[in-house]
């Protein structure tokens, strides 16, 4: 059996490692690995698919456009039986999807048909979901639309951030691939149509999408913070004309302390804690960073940054 692997990030790295192990056991062959060159403007916090492939003497390609006709012909010449896409960032067109006789499959980071599209790990946290997972499905030109082969659930705890959830998802991705590939190669894996009436779709996120709206409930603001905290661009507000990034926090009920208007600063002297009013409840700030300055954590927030009770955040 001949496999073409396309992938990136930790989930791509984990799946490639599993497939390398399985191909060695089953006498199958990974004919090439397609991945991305790292973007120097992006914080690279994940393991390298390219380095893993090269360590195992696999041919590696990093095309800017995988749908370029010349590159499609190169892939066709490799004659793969399967194509696996695991967190590869480019959409593949029909010319590529039609190459492998046994199918082109994608591993998507949600329980399809919910959370189709980009950044599903960030979106499920933003929406406060208690559960997510991964879905291996056949690719069509519509994103995340094709028939499903397998799913694995991943529970989300309130303390999860995008980083901790990504780590959980990578482990689950390896488990799913290890279980399903041996079935796929002998045509014993299921093929289940998605219920398209239940589908939800979310697009990509930009750094500007991290701006905090203090009119929202504190729980929703907390979900934004944990969805885009390190290593992502971060949730931010404005204070004294500068961006203030909130890297960690905790929602608190409204009845803990005096009534605060949205964005209003209070100083909890007993807990040495910075507290900010929200549309419902309040947010205790655990870690913050004023643009151009180092990150500050815990009691040092009150001592070093010089917040004054009654100030209003969010006014740029």
- What is the C-alpha to C-alpha distance for residues 144 and 138, in angstroms, rounded to an integer? 8
Strand partners, 106: 85, 137
Same fold flag, 2-202 and 210-305: no
- What is the C-alpha to C-alpha distance for residues 294 and 303, in angstroms, rounded to an integer? 14
2-202 homologous superfamily: Formyl transferase, N-terminal domain (3.40.50.170)
pLDDT of 230 over the 80 cut: yes
Query: Where are the chain's structural domains?
Result: 2-202, 210-305
On whether the pTM is more than 0.85, the answer is yes
Query: Can you give the pLDDT at residue 229?
Result: 98
* pLDDT band for position 257 (cuts 50, 70, 90): low
Distance (Å) of CA 23 to CA 5, 7, 26, 27, 116: 12, 17, 5, 5, 30
Give residue-wise pLDDT tens across range 126-177.
999 999 999 999 999 999 999 999 999 999 999 999 999 999 999 999 999 9
What's the mean pLDDT when you consider all of the chain?
Answer: 94
- 155 vs 306, residue with greater confidence: 155
C-beta separation of 223 from 281 below 8 A:
no
Identify the H or E element spanning 150.
strand 148-155
The correct CATH number of 210-305 out of 3.40.1030.10, 3.10.25.10, 1.20.140.10, 3.30.70.1400 is 3.10.25.10
The CA-based dihedral angle spanning residues 66, 67, 69, 72, taken in that order and rounded to the nearest 10 degrees: 60
Closest by Cα among 55, 59, 56, 49 to 13:
49
């Amino acid at each position: 059996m001949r496999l073409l692997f396309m992938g990136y990030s930790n989930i791509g790295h984990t799946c490639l490692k599993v497939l390398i192990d399985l191909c060695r056991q089953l006498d199958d062959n990974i004919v090439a690995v397609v991945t991305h060159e790292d973007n120097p403007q992006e914080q690279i916090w994940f393991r390298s698919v390219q380095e893993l492939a090269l360590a195992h003497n696999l041919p590696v390609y990093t095309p800017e456009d995988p749908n370029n006709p010349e590159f499609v012909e190169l892939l066709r010449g490799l004659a793969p039986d399967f194509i696996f896409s695991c967190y590869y960032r480019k959409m593949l067109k029909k010319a590529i999807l039609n190459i492998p006789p046994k199918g082109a499959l994608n591993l998507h980071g949600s329980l399809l048909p919910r959370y189709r599209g980009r950044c599903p790990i960030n979106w499920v946290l933003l929406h406060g979901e208690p559960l997510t997972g991964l879905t291996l499905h056949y690719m069509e030109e519509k994103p995340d639309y094709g028939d499903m082969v397998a799913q694995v659930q991943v529970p989300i705890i309130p303390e999860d951030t995008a980083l901790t959830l990504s780590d959980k998802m990578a482990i689950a991705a390896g488990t799913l691939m290890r279980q399903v590939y041996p079935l796929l190669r002998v045509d014993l894996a299921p093929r289940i149509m998605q219920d398209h009436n239940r589908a939800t779709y979310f697009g990509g996120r930009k750094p500007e999408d991290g701006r905090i709206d203090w009119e929202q409930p504190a729980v929703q603001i907390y979900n934004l913070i944990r969805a885009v905290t390190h290593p992502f661009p971060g949730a931010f507000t404005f204070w004294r004309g500068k961006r203030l990034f909130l890297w960690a926090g905790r929602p608190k009920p409204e009845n803990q302390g005096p009534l605060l208007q949205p964005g209003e600063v209070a100083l909890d002297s007993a807990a040495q804690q910075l507290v900010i009013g929200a549309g419902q409840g309040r947010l205790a700030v655990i870690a913050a960073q004023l643009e151009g300055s180092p990150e500050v954590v815990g009691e040092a927030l009150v001592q070093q940054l010089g917040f004054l009770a009654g100030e209003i955040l969010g006014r740029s």
